[in-house]
Structure 1
Amino acid sequence: MIKLHRTMNMRGLSCVLVALFGLSTAYRLSGDVVPEHYKLDIVTNLGDENDKFEFQGKVAIQATCVSATRNVTLHSKNLHLAENEIQVKDLNGGGTEAIEGFEYDKENEFFMVLLKEPLADGKKYEILIPFQGKLEDVLAGYYRSSFVDTNTKEKRYLATTQFEATDARRAFPCFDEPAMKSTFKISMGHTKKYSALSNMPVEQIEPMKEKQDWVWTHFENTVPMSTYLVAFIISDFGYESSRSSNNVTFKVWSRKDALNQVRFAGDVGPKTLDYFETYFDVDYPLPKQDMIAIPDFAAGAMENWGLITFRESRLLYDPEISSSSSQHQVASVIAHEMAHQWFGNLVTMKWWTDLWLNEGFATYMAGLAVHHIFPEWNSLEEESASNLLNVFGFDSLKTSHPVSVPVGHPREIDQIFDTIAYQKGSFLIRMMTLFLGEETFRMGVSNYLKKHKYGNAEQDDLWSSLTTEAHRSGFPKNLTVKTVMDTWTVQTGYPVIHVNRLYGQNALELKQERYYRDTIKPKSAGQCWWVPLSYTTATELQFNDTKPKIWLPCHNNVEIFEGFPKQDEWVIFNIRAAGLYRINYDEKNWQLLLDTLNSDKFESIPVLNRVQLIDDSSSLAWTGDLSYRIFFDLVKYLNREERYLPWKASLSNIGALNKRIKRTSTYGFFKVYLKELLEPIYEKVGALTLTKATKEKLDAVKHQTLIASWACRFGVSNCASEASRMFAEYMKNPTNTEIIPKDLRSVIFCNAIRRGAETEWEFLWQQYLKSNVATEKNSIMSALGCTREIWLLKRLLDFTLKDNSGIRKQDYSSVFTTVAGNDVGFYIAQRFLEENIKDIYKRLAPNTRRLSRYLSSLAGQMTSELEYDWFKNFTGKNEEYFKEAKQGVGQSLELIKVNIQWRNRHEKHLKCMLKKKEH
């Protein structure tokens, strides 16, 4: 029986959030003029004339005036507009409108055409604007990328686009908001030696009359779409093609010297499209789907409709060199971008507030698709566990933000492409699927897509479709999906459910509160959630039923429930981690669970529940809500555990401790403890060879790699010396790919470089420069940051400040992160950032939100008041460079603060515990 109580007013909460975020609508288009069709002609010069990299073109925008206005406002950034040629034509036969002047609003990136007479309500007009711009290497808008052909050693160029979120305006004047959907007729002018790609198939290629050896490539009209999904590329790439079962043509494009790496993508792409067409019961609406690997690309991939762009490491796969984890990542990213063709492209959020409707759904659906295509990988369980652990960590900060987040100025948009939009959004969708039932959820989503196709929607539109289906299938009539889910998407954080067993009464009391990592909790928090509670007992062991047995309503009082087991058997809540909440049991129930885990019956508790018990006990100990004794007693059971995910959860939490104490006197005892913990499992699964049985199981490969990495680092058995031996053999014969198993290269490279000197480092750096496989280059780059030679770490960082060093702009932050994570490199990275912040900022522009990664990689290891003061002073003194990473600054400061709290509260106690274990 469910007891209903008065719930919080979520509309009121939303208003409060808007007030807190200080939103204004000055940055938004007025909507007086609405575009319907763009005719876009662009001529691209890739150094072919006068060694210049530039483009020029004209756009004719057909639009309707929906409210009389003398001001036609659209977006433009870093473009030169030919003002004397701009025209506004009346398409109803009224001639050309008289223009009074023009205005530019740089803050909001507006270009305004001021008319002498107002446009008439309901009439159609054409806005004609000639423009030109530079093809810079800024990884945003319409920009240039380059590569050196491994066969000819010739440097080649391409021109490509990246428009999400607000960079279409860098390529052509437009109404650059997601709700301003239009059709597009695109024509690209270029020399004959290149080919052109865009969202739609090529309609015609014709000679350019005014330029010899130049051509126009004309593309078919697009379907209605947002400007951020427009894409066009000029390159000399090659491709391989395939088809979906619905006869959609797939082409995977890459540098011609990397075409041997596209076959896997060509196989996965059509299969994911087939899966989504069946799942959504909505056909893919375009006749083709191109996927292309871009050498310089800021994001992982971009879902442009019909022309998906990728980093090379996210699309290309070499079966001889790329690891199994890389193969999984390539499949996942392809599936993620294909899911966007429905969630994001076919139905688009009205404004960036509901970005999670794009990214959360794409993340969730990608997991389903990959599991469908490769069930032997067992990847869906890992996807759930990884999302849970990531969200539990990030969303425990006061400086986190809601899933449906109020967004102000467009420069704030990039900051919300984070764990909350992707992983939390995905996990909440999984939670809905489990409490509604998969078929109910699928039907609701299908109806939502059909109702809003080619249009825009908000999360309330999704809630409406899901509620309709839910009430047909038995969901409580007095509940709506909106009532439940607004508590999860409109407010920040997640709850911890305190379970207090009333043993004499066979009952328990439940209380919810928001979980904070900061032990100084806000006095006026007052947050609550509608929580779907599933559970089972030691006698029942019903771990297959994830539907809620109880709904804990949204209020702040204690709830008492009867009918629970006797005092000698445990109860577990949140079956298979079906909901986004932590659970803190009373001490006796924890002990009952410990007794089972530390017995031969530990596998009676499923893997995902073992993962949650590990993570909850660690995190609750962090805040002082549970004794660290329980966490360390719990992980004793790992001497029996041979599954990957519980070890991943354990080492993730132990790694958090490692970061906070590795520069303290406690560390020696901690290293001894870790070595003893790892030795048994290393002998079972971690040795630096791969058996045939291991190779065939992705989770087994990942488990072995994880254990080997930790074992080599902490001196377990012969791990480190064996890594050095294998690397020495590899140095003698680097063309022999059999010497080092491809799935263990990252481990062996890192440990050999850590134990080696300049000779090993220089050899691997040359291998990095020679490699033609992006996934291999990533592994090598991470390994180069493992050296303990201070000058080599500084050299690696300095490479990120030099053109043509061999390190691409997209990888600068990754280089910094790997150096900062090195025990020796932390101080080098800190000083490097302090001394070079201006140059780093300039080289990252316009993707300066990536500075958040620089900050967080340092902040996670800072544990003293002195370090907090340094960080605060540094970011304050350089505020101008962090204006687009303000959220990252706040989160990093909070992270240091909670690290200080942890050290003050727990370090001495932890040292005593580890000392006792040693003796």
Structure 2
Amino acid sequence: MHRLSPPLTRVDEGVPCLAHDEKPPCPLHSSQPLSEPFSSISTRRKDHCRRCILLFLCLCILTLAITIAFVLGRYVTEWQKSKERGELWKANQQSSVHQTMPPPVPVSTSPFPSTARPFSTSTRRPETTTPFHYARLIPLAAVKNTTLDEVFVPFSSGEDEDWTVASHSSEQRMQRDTFLVPLSSAISPVQYDIHMDITQFSDLRQITANVSIHLMSYGNSTEEEIVFHAGPEIRISRIRLRSGDHNISILSMKNETNKKLYRIILKEPLKRAEYVLDLEYIASICDSPDGGVNCYFEPTQNGTTTKATSFTTKFEPALARTVFQLTVRHSPILKVLSNTAVQWTKEEGGMTVTHFKQTPPMSSYLLALAAGEFVRLEMFTRRKVPLTIWTFPEDLARASFAAQFAPKMFDQQEEELEVLYPLSKLDMVAARSFSVGAMENWGLVVFDSHTLLQQSEIDDSMAMTVDRHHHEYRIAKIITHELAHQWFGNLVTMRDWSELWLNEGFASFLVYEMLSARYPHLTEFEYVSRLAILFHKQSGMERPALVRSLSRESQVEAAFHTTHLYTKGCVVVRMIRDLVSAFDFSAGIRRYIRNNAYGAVTRVDLFSSLPVYADHGAENERLDEIIETWLLNEGMPEVTVSRKYDTDGIRVTQRLSRANRYRIFLYDEKSGVDPTTFSYTDNSYNSEEGTRVARSAVEQEKEFDDTLFDDLPEGYKRITEKKRQRHRKKIRSGSKNRDSSSILVEKRHEDTRNKKRSRHSPSDRWSIPFSYMFGSIKSTEGQVIRQFWLKNRSISFTDVELSPTSPLLANPDWAYPYRVNYDYANWKMLTKLLHDNHNEIPLKSRMQLIVDGEFFLSQSGLPHLYIYLLSYLHTEESLGASLLGLDAVHRLVESFQGSPIVHQLIRYITPVISRLDRHLVDSQSDVEMASLWLLDPHRLTRFYQLRCAANLSSCEREDEVRAWFLRGHYSSDMHQRTTALCHYLAVNGGGKEAQRIESELSKATVDPTLLQLATCVRDNTQLAARAAKIVVAQRNAAVYDSVLRSDLSQQHYNLEFRRALWGAIGSLPEGDRRFLFSVDEIVKNLLPSWGRVGVHLQFLHRLLSWQDRVSSGVLSKFFSSDSPSL
């Protein structure tokens, strides 16, 4: 049979040939007859398909190219923006910080790859591991519009100069944020045998190590992986797992650098047995600041100095407690130190091998190694424990105070805690340019040399100067803090990073307790100052809880905050002490350390060692439930006391303290916010009266009405004056009156006490040990103190013994950490009592009134009440209260600088400034009292400004000008001299003084202080223009800001210079202006919330407008009276 060929058909035009499936190849379109159909068809078919396929491939390539171009373009754009942001940041850093950074010094390195609970097992899935997506774990924050209520004014304080700043956290932030990955507890390390070689560190910045890690598998898991933490700079070259003489098969290994994890894939799950994991690795310890190791290196005369400190338990400090056996091979010229004493040394191939004794069980982040050309200064404690300070030879003489103080403090803490230090020695290394203030490694504490050694210029003087005393106090604080960590943190370790306060809170608390006998005035005043800073910081937007979940490394680093951790932790520990008594507290802490030695703890372990109930008021409240609210709640509480004077009614209300609630200019009618939301006191008890009082305060049309109640609440009985009790129990000031029968409480808390105890969750309510006092200890009735617990939002009661004409003082002696606000009448009576006889109010209560008065009154509808309160300071004998008042007065004057009322304000508070001047003179006879002025490094400068602004003779302006003309330079006390010069030039500037300054400014190099003095000369347009031109030529916004602040002048507002400066800035090219003032896309990308800038400007506008209104309104009337008072 003949094979029939399929008939040839003509492909219709417009139909793609490739669309015909399972059909013969398509011919090209043609109208000519086909003599050789098959050959012709074959030829056409081949050419057509080739072109179709080629066209298809071209389209695919074009699509792919477009996609790649889009991706690369986006990447390059983001990279360019990142580069520009980095260059901008570097430029700002270099231009604003005019100092040479010291060379990097010794070392922090991990001698082994493990970083936390180093080993665990996890189920291995056979599927291919998917990439790690942070977006799956980090919830995206919702975009939130910033409001005026979220803008907060910075607080001037000496906090950043404190010894606790970054004392245990690295100054270098991690380049990559890493999750704290929890590991299983089915397998745990028992012992590390580490052999480390640091002979190549000087040249290659790396160490090599062999580590044998003894593991215990509990056999309660079917998992086939061993997982441990390892930094990205650790490169493991060999690995072996064995049990006895039997090697365990390892299928594969995986290094997950983004998680800082290392996975060992096993052939079968581990059984219940002991295993040994042998590792050989190389660690580059100077390449990255965010790896499992760190580095500080410094050249010395004879080679290199290295210091290694393991910061390896940044993740789970609880289950990483194990023992370490360390052997180090090093250069013979280096002295090598570790946590324990040296067991033996030997020479090997021209190098030295040092073997250390085995450590007790401890967390791996405490393992440390120091190597350098150190010399030692050895002392012994009472028990003959060697305590040695290691320094470089040229620094040895500066370690004399630390050498004398440290053994005494060591003995004092051992005696107080009644738990012996468990190691055989304690070394203290003074390292140069150490990245943190100190690190409390067990048995080997590493300090930055500036925090441990005396300043050379101070030590040259044999006399005990104020500066030397102050510096010794700073050294004593940090030594005491790190010694306290040998028990709190090293012997007993927190189980989780969320419980950091168990380490840092107790260490900070012990600083003030242990030093109170040696430095009584300094410790007490510094605690109160830190408490005031804590109140301010936790009243703003950033008010973290003391105990909170920490899931990333960046959160752990941020947790080491001077105020939010150190100060707040110290305050809570002190509160616990006061609630259980000093005796029971000390006994409980000793029990806590003994019962949990070498273990990891939570706050449950702490409370189980302390008394069950708190000692306050008549009701028994569990201590753990009371303190839980202070640990978990964000911010700090404030208590408002409102009195109803005609019926003896008192209402006490608590809520979260927020600063902007009392800034009246944020709540005016033009803002679109209901002015009745402004809260001077809590008037919700009577809504109509509260609305009327708040609106009156906002509108400032009449004096704030002190009537807070129109009628009694339901359930109250009216108690007339005839029925008032005439007799009151007379007690000593500060004693406790547990008899609360005269207090009629509206609602008892029986339901709360009878409920089943439950775990507290974060809220905005605290369990507050509230107390108040009234009466005079000198009167026949005596002084009465009431105590009770404030756990609900509010409580109302009557106190028939409290006279309507007697002020009520809450939280006597500032016993507990909460703010107190009062109704206007009570504020007025307390202020009057301060003027009449301030000693009727306890010293710390006077300090709290200053702090709370600024918070509640200074920017309210009653600023004159706050100014009148501060004016009592002209009779204050206490230097501590006066210095706290000095800071408040300076902030007050600074806030009105440039306003028409500032001169009247300064004249009004001149008696206060004169009193402070006498305090300064009187304190020179007492070294410790004089040191109070130096706790805040800027306090003396502020006082010099106020003193000259008040035209006090002690300013010595004419004498300073003569000395300046004669010598041509400034004396040692530069701040005092330049401040006096600035005020002289502002008042009398012109003539020869201005001519000299102008001639000095024409030189090639201009003294910055001289340039600042040029801004003080007023009514001299030519000099102002020259000074402005020099300032603007520096192209540095930070310099502009510093000059505009007029740091040397508190009173005089140089309008001519400001006009010249802004004119010169306006003449800059547009590109320069955009760069300097952050208005182009580069800096917009630097600021995640660019829109907030407009809100900040609106905040400032309202603040300045309010200042203008009160300056011409209530304050003008207040100062214009013959004797301004209330």
* TM-score, normalised via structure 1 length: 0.74
Establish whether residue 460 from structure 1 lines up as the match of residue 612 from structure 2.
no
- Please show how residues 855-894 of structure 1 align to structure 2 within 5 Å: 877-878=1085-1086
Establish whether residue 640 from structure 1 lines up as the match of residue 640 from structure 2.
no
Shift of 1:750: 8.8
Distance 2:1114 2:1103 in 1: 15
Establish whether residue 609 from structure 1 lines up as the match of residue 842 from structure 2.
no
Shift of 1:342: 1.2
**Structure 1 residues 730, 38: closer, same or farther in 2, change over 3 A?**
farther
Which of 479, 482, 488 in structure 1 is aligned with 2:621?
A: 479
- Give the 3-state SS of the residue equivalent to 1:649 in structure 2: helix
Quick one: which amino acid aligns to residue 693 of structure 1?
S
Which of 150, 160, 164 in structure 1 is aligned with 2:307?
A: 160
Distance 1:488 1:433 in 2: 14
Q: In structure 2, what is the equivalent of residue 351 of structure 1?
A: 496
| Structure 2: gaps (5+ residues) | 1-137, 143-176, 461-466, 667-676, 680-760, 986-996, 1010-1026, 1048-1073, 1121-1126
Q: In structure 2, what is the equivalent of residue 185 of structure 1?
A: 325
Quick one: which amino acid aligns to residue 370 of structure 2?
I
Distance 1:820 1:641 in 2: 36
Shift of 1:279: 1.9
- Give the 3-state SS of the residue equivalent to 1:684 in structure 2: helix
Establish whether residue 713 from structure 1 lines up as the match of residue 945 from structure 2.
yes
Which of 543, 547, 561 in structure 2 is aligned with 1:400?
A: 543
- Give the 3-state SS of the residue equivalent to 1:286 in structure 2: coil
Distance 1:819 1:73 in 2: 54
- Give the 3-state SS of the residue equivalent to 1:558 in structure 2: strand
Q: In structure 1, what is the equivalent of residue 914 of structure 2?
A: 680
- Please show how residues 827-838 of structure 1 align to structure 2 within 5 Å: none
Establish whether residue 560 from structure 1 lines up as the match of residue 560 from structure 2.
no
What RMSD over aligned residues (CA atoms) do the two structures have, in Å? 4.6
Distance 1:618 1:269 in 2: 40
| Structure 1: gaps (5+ residues) | 1-17, 170-174, 766-787, 799-815, 827-865
- May I ask how many residue pairs the two structures share in their alignment? 777
2:339–2:442 Cα contact (<8 Å) kept: yes
Establish whether residue 33 from structure 1 lines up as the match of residue 224 from structure 2.
no
1:682–1:708 Cα contact (<8 Å) kept: no
- Give the 3-state SS of the residue equivalent to 1:591 in structure 2: helix
Shift of 1:697: 3.3
Distance 2:235 2:283 in 1: 7
- Please show how residues 482-497 of structure 1 align to structure 2 within 5 Å: 482-497=624-639
**Structure 1 residues 698, 682: closer, same or farther in 2, change over 3 A?**
closer
Distance 1:488 1:603 in 2: 32
- Give the 3-state SS of the residue equivalent to 1:590 in structure 2: helix
Q: In structure 1, what is the equivalent of residue 233 of structure 2?
A: 79
Shift of 1:127: 4.2
Which of 906, 909, 918 in structure 1 is aligned with 2:1110?
A: 909
- Give the 3-state SS of the residue equivalent to 2:585 in structure 1: helix
**Structure 1 residues 488, 443: closer, same or farther in 2, change over 3 A?**
same
Deviations 1:123-165 (A, max 9, x none): 443343423213359598654445687xxxx59742224555x
- Give the 3-state SS of the residue equivalent to 1:513 in structure 2: strand
Distance 1:611 1:916 in 2: 28
**Structure 1 residues 408, 581: closer, same or farther in 2, change over 3 A?**
same
Quick one: which amino acid aligns to residue 511 of structure 1?
T
Distance 2:816 2:367 in 1: 37
- Give the 3-state SS of the residue equivalent to 2:588 in structure 1: helix
Deviations 1:372-423 (A, max 9, x none): 3x14x42232133022111101111243111111111122111111112110
Establish whether residue 293 from structure 1 lines up as the match of residue 529 from structure 2.
no
Deviations 1:488-535 (A, max 9, x none): 111111221111223334452211111111339999996211111233
* More deviation, 501-510/672-681: 672-681
Q: In structure 2, what is the equivalent of residue 386 of structure 1?
A: 529
- Please show how residues 754-773 of structure 1 align to structure 2 within 5 Å: none
**Structure 1 residues 26, 710: closer, same or farther in 2, change over 3 A?**
closer
Shift of 1:237: 2.1
- Please show how residues 706-745 of structure 1 align to structure 2 within 5 Å: 708-714=940-946, 715-716=948-949, 717=952, 719=955, 721=957, 740=972
Shift of 1:33: 2.3
Quick one: which amino acid aligns to residue 874 of structure 2?
N
Distance 1:667 1:393 in 2: 26
**Structure 1 residues 413, 575: closer, same or farther in 2, change over 3 A?**
same
Deviations 1:273-296 (A, max 9, x none): 222222222111112111122211
**Structure 1 residues 465, 148: closer, same or farther in 2, change over 3 A?**
same
Which of 749, 764, 770 in structure 2 is aligned with 1:527?
A: 764
1:176–1:228 Cα contact (<8 Å) kept: no
Distance 1:795 1:677 in 2: 41
Distance 1:44 1:796 in 2: 47
Deviations 1:766-802 (A, max 9, x none): xxxxxxxxxxxxxxxxxxxxxx99979998999xxxx
**Structure 1 residues 604, 731: closer, same or farther in 2, change over 3 A?**
farther
1:621–1:631 Cα contact (<8 Å) kept: yes
- Give the 3-state SS of the residue equivalent to 2:224 in structure 1: strand
Quick one: which amino acid aligns to residue 327 of structure 2?
S
1:399–1:891 Cα contact (<8 Å) kept: no
Establish whether residue 430 from structure 1 lines up as the match of residue 574 from structure 2.
yes
Shift of 1:819: 9.8
Shift of 1:227: 1.7
1:140–1:163 Cα contact (<8 Å) kept: no
Shift of 1:456: 0.7
- Give the 3-state SS of the residue equivalent to 1:30 in structure 2: coil
Quick one: which amino acid aligns to residue 504 of structure 1?
D
Which of 194, 207, 228 in structure 2 is aligned with 1:55?
A: 207
Shift of 1:894: 10
**Structure 1 residues 329, 512: closer, same or farther in 2, change over 3 A?**
same
Shift of 1:680: 0.5
Distance 2:961 2:359 in 1: 56
**Structure 1 residues 702, 79: closer, same or farther in 2, change over 3 A?**
closer
- Please show how residues 404-423 of structure 1 align to structure 2 within 5 Å: 404-418=547-561, 419-423=563-567
Which of 758, 774, 781 in structure 2 is aligned with 1:537?
A: 774
Q: In structure 2, what is the equivalent of residue 856 of structure 1?
A: none
**Structure 1 residues 492, 672: closer, same or farther in 2, change over 3 A?**
same
The percent identity for this pair of structures is 20
Distance 2:362 2:965 in 1: 55
Which of 564, 567, 577 in structure 1 is aligned with 2:814?
A: 577
**Structure 1 residues 351, 749: closer, same or farther in 2, change over 3 A?**
farther
**Structure 1 residues 47, 493: closer, same or farther in 2, change over 3 A?**
closer
Distance 1:219 1:332 in 2: 30
Quick one: which amino acid aligns to residue 855 of structure 2?
S
**Structure 1 residues 512, 906: closer, same or farther in 2, change over 3 A?**
farther
**Structure 1 residues 750, 102: closer, same or farther in 2, change over 3 A?**
farther
1:45–1:53 Cα contact (<8 Å) kept: no
1:295–1:312 Cα contact (<8 Å) kept: yes
- Please show how residues 498-537 of structure 1 align to structure 2 within 5 Å: 498-519=640-661, 527-537=764-774
- Give the 3-state SS of the residue equivalent to 2:196 in structure 1: strand
Q: In structure 1, what is the equivalent of residue 247 of structure 2?
A: 96
Quick one: which amino acid aligns to residue 60 of structure 1?
S
Q: In structure 2, what is the equivalent of residue 206 of structure 1?
A: 346
Distance 2:495 2:425 in 1: 26
Which of 876, 885, 895 in structure 2 is aligned with 1:650?
A: 885
- Give the 3-state SS of the residue equivalent to 1:403 in structure 2: coil
Quick one: which amino acid aligns to residue 41 of structure 1?
H
Q: In structure 2, what is the equivalent of residue 134 of structure 1?
A: 285
Deviations 1:571-600 (A, max 9, x none): 21212211111111222221221112113x
- Give the 3-state SS of the residue equivalent to 1:120 in structure 2: coil
Shift of 1:654: 4.1
**Structure 1 residues 301, 525: closer, same or farther in 2, change over 3 A?**
closer
